């Protein structure tokens, strides 16, 4: 990096999270290079805000000292970094790669080894919170990196994160992110089953919400999912069922490899896979409530947010 405070940055992955991240990088004075996907919405927006749009992954690497990835998962990360025309094909010694995706730790080890062998630095910095916080520059991130690398890239993360936690060495961030998502999706699955139980036995959902909100079972996840769902809106938490099922697959493979005897991770994954297989894969996690209704032969709640 020529300037540890304001390195040139590349960003790959311009979905709901990536667009907010890129916008905040630009607002904080970083020079930003991006590449367009099939959907050019994100690239066109960031171009209007001052980013340079390049045609290839290699060109992103050539234009950048730091490259941030925010893509669906490990297969995409491996292709982007190590593919024939991937980032490493540019031969940019000293490039720092920050993987903000939710990736599988075993894959993270392979990617990190390739980046380091090419003379670069690797950081895993998966994200928490939603696209709303991405736009506001208030994401959370849990970081796996060597201390010197963490210190160097912290100003980059501060452009779009409110809370930055250095968890440990390379891979530690992705491991904790999977535990975080297990806890979050475990709560969402419990909420869905509780809603179906109340509906089946005749307990009003607004009374469920009132009681839980006032007690120890309350949580941020409960407020996001149940706060909207009690009024018939299943889109209160902006996270998709297919992504959640993917993440729980990563989590269960990680814990099975230890191995651990706990079965709750597999139960949560099964709830998500069942919902996906019932046709809710493209829906948000609040639609686990509709999936529970369908599994029990009842008419699912249908209304979503605007």
Q: How many CB atoms lie within 10 A of CB 168?
A: 17
Check residue 300 and report its DSSP letter.
P
Looking from the CA of 291 toward its CB, the CA atoms found within 13 Å total 26
User: Is residue 303 packed enough to be buried (19+ CB in 10 Å), middle (13-18) or exposed (0-12)?
Assistant: exposed
Is 177 catalytic? The answer is yes
Q: How many CB atoms lie within 10 A of CB 84?
A: 7
Peptide bond before residue 194 is cis, with ω within 30 degrees of 0: no
User: Is residue 233 packed enough to be buried (19+ CB in 10 Å), middle (13-18) or exposed (0-12)?
Assistant: middle
Residue 81's alpha-carbon distances to 76, 93, 95, 256, 274, in angstroms, are 9, 14, 11, 27, 32
Residue 187's alpha-carbon distances to 69, 190, 191, 286, in angstroms, are 28, 5, 6, 11
CA atoms of 225 and 237, how far apart (whole Å)? 6
Residue 48's contacts (CB-CB under 8 Å, 6 or more residues apart) are none
From 6, 175, 177, 246, active-site residue = 177
Helix (H) or strand (E) holding 147: helix 147-158
Residue 96's alpha-carbon distances to 8, 67, 166, 171, 262, in angstroms, are 11, 6, 17, 15, 36
Nearest 5°: the CA angle 6, 37, 84 is 85
Are 244 and 272 within 8 A, CB to CB? yes
Would you name the residues annotated as active-site residues? 177
């Amino acid at each position: 990096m020529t300037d540890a405070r304001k390195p040139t940055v590349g960003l790959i992955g311009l979905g709901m999270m990536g667009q907010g991240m890129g916008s905040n990088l630009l607002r904080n004075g970083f020079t930003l290079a991006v590449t367009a996907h099939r959907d050019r919405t994100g690239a066109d927006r960031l171009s209007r805000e001052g980013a340079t749009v390049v045609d290839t992954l290699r060109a992103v690497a050539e234009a950048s000292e730091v490259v941030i990835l925010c893509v669906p998962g490990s297969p995409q990360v491996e292709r982007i970094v190590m593919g024939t025309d991937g980032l490493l094909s540019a031969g940019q010694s000293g490039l720092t790669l920050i993987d903000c995706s939710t990736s599988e730790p075993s894959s993270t080890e392979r990617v990190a080894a390739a980046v380091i062998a090419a003379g670069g630095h690797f950081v895993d910095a998966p994200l928490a919170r939603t696209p709303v916080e991405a736009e506001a520059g208030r994401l959370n991130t849990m970081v796996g990196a060597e201390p010197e690398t963490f210190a160097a890239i912290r100003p980059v993360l501060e452009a779009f994160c409110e809370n930055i936690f250095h968890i440990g060495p390379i891979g530690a961030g992705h491991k904790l992110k999977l535990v975080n998502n297990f806890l979050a999706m475990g709560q969402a699955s419990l909420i869905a089953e509780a809603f179906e139980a109340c509906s089946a036995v005749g307990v009003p959902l607004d009374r469920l919400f009132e009681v839980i909100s006032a007690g120890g079972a309350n949580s941020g996840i409960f407020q996001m999912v149940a706060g909207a769902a009690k009024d018939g809106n299943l889109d209160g938490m902006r996270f998709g069922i297919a992504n959640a099922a993917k993440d729980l697959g990563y989590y269960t493979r990680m814990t099975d490899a230890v191995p651990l005897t706990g079965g709750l991770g597999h139960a949560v994954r099964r709830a998500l896979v069942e919902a996906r297989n019932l046709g809710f894969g493209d829906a948000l996690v609040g639609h686990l409530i509709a999936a529970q209704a369908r599994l029990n032969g009842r008419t699912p709640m249908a209304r979503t947010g605007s």
